[in-house]
Amino acid sequence: MMRKVFIFLALSAILLLAACQGSGAASGPAIEVEEAWGRPSPMVADAAAFYATILNRGNQDDRLLGADSPACGTIEMHESYMMDNGAMGMRPVEGGAISVPAGEQVELKPGGLHLMCLQKQSEINAGDHIPLTLHFENAGDIQVKVEIKEP
């Protein structure tokens, strides 16, 4: 009897392990953040912008809910867009989050989506690598370094 229980448990464990491994790579969000960068920003400029490319290599949609950095009092997510009259306008991201659908990539870039760094703690200079934590709905927190440079 004891032997049967033991074999049953062992088999279950093996099956469970196999199941976990089989699904590991593809299931859930697999967020990667590449090329996080920003321009130098003097103290006189009230706001700075950070950009990055966000890739979702998983099979589950995800959303960027916000971001934090010790270099900024607060970070907001905004989008520059061309208005009907050809002028450039800016608006907070729709729904307060940036969607990163499964298998797709979203580019935060000048003139488009960007992270707005407010209440800078100090001047942001070329060569700085600013720690940035991105909060994703499913992938959780992802930490990156923002490279400050003139592209």
Partner 1 sequence: MSVSKRKFSSWILLVPLALLGLFGIAWWLRPHTFHGTVIQSPEPAPDFTLTAASGPVTLSNFRGKVVLLYFGYTFCPDVCPTTLANAGRALRLLGDQADEVQLIMVSVDPERDTPEKLEEYVKHFDPSFIGVTGTPEEIARVAALYGIYYEKSEESVATGYLVNHTATLMVVDREGRLKLVFPFGVTAEEIADDLHYILRR
Binding site for partner 1 (CB under 8 A): 39-42, 44-49, 73-74, 76, 78, 80, 82-83, 85-92, 110-111, 114, 116-119, 150
Indicate the helix (H) or strand (E) that contains 16.
helix 2-24
Closer CB to partner 1, 21 or 85, in the complex: 85
Closest distance to partner 1 from the beta carbon of 43 (Å) = 9
Closer CB to partner 1, 2 or 87, in the complex: 87
Closest distance to partner 1 from the beta carbon of 108 (Å) = 10
Closest distance to partner 1 from the beta carbon of 83 (Å) = 6
- Rounded to 10 degrees, what is the CA torsion of 143, 145, 146, 149? -170
- Contact between residue 139 and residue 62 where contact means Cβ atoms under 8 Å apart: yes
- Contact between residue 90 and residue 47 where contact means Cβ atoms under 8 Å apart: no
Closer CB to partner 1, 35 or 76, in the complex: 76
Round to whole Å and give the CA distance between 88 and 57.
32
